[in-house]
Structure 1
Amino acid sequence: MTPKPQTAFIVGASRGLGLALATEYLKRGWRVIATVRGSARTKLHDLEASAGDRLKIEHLDIDVPAEVAALRQRLKNQLLDVLFVNAGVAIDPDKSMTELDTDAFTRMMVTNALSPMRIIEAFDSLVAPDGVIVAMSSELGSVGDNTDGGWEGYRASKAALNTLMRSYAARQGTSPRTLLLIAPGWVRTDMGGAGAPLDVSDSIPRVVDVVTAQTGRSGLQYLDYRGETVPW
Structure 2
Amino acid sequence: MSTPSDRRALVIGASRGLGLVLVRELLDRGWSVVATTREAAGGELRASADASGGRLIVEALEMTSPGRLVALRERLAGRRLDLLFVNAAVDRGDLPICDVPNDMFTEVMTTNALSPLRALETLRGLVAPGGTVAVMSSEQGSVSRNTEAGYELYKASKAALNQLMRSYATRHAKDGHTKLLMDPGHNRTRLGGPDAPLLPERSIPEVVDVLEAQAGAPGLQFLDRHGESVPW
Same fold (TM over 0.5): yes
2:219 alignment partner in structure 1: 219
TM-score by length of 2: 0.96
| Matched residue type, 1:21 | L
SS of alignment partner, residue 161 of structure 2: helix
| Matched residue type, 1:190 | R
Percent of residue pairs identical: 51
Q: Deviations over 1:90-131 (max 9, x none)?
A: 112x11101122211110100001000000001111101110
| Matched residue type, 1:162 | N
SS of alignment partner, residue 98 of structure 2: coil
1:14 alignment partner in structure 2: 15
| Matched residue type, 2:113 | A
Alignment of 1:107-122 (within 5 A): 107-122=107-122
What is the root-mean-square deviation of aligned Cα atoms in Å? Answer: 1.2
SS of alignment partner, residue 124 of structure 1: helix
In 1, Cα distance between equivalents of 2:174 and 2:65: 31
SS of alignment partner, residue 42 of structure 2: coil
Alignment of 1:163-182 (within 5 A): 163-182=163-182
| Matched residue type, 1:138 | S
SS of alignment partner, residue 53 of structure 1: coil
1:145 alignment partner in structure 2: 145
Alignment of 1:50-65 (within 5 A): 50-65=51-66
In 2, Cα distance between equivalents of 1:55 and 1:112: 25
Q: CA deviation at 1:5?
A: 1.6
In 2, Cα distance between equivalents of 1:136 and 1:61: 17
Question: Which structure 2 segments of 5+ residues have no match?
Answer: none
Task: Report how many residues are paired.
Answer: 230
Change (3 A) 1:145 1:62: same
**213-222 vs 38-47, greater mean Cα deviation:** 38-47
1:228 alignment partner in structure 2: 228
Q: CA deviation at 1:49?
A: 2.8
In 2, Cα distance between equivalents of 1:141 and 1:66: 28
1:43 alignment partner in structure 2: 44
Q: CA deviation at 1:173?
A: 2.6
In 2, Cα distance between equivalents of 1:175 and 1:105: 33
2:33 alignment partner in structure 1: 32
Partners of 1:175 and 1:219 within 8 A in 2: no
1:86 alignment partner in structure 2: 87
TM-score by length of 1: 0.96
Consecutive aligned runs of 4 or more in structure 1 exceeding 6 Å deviation = none
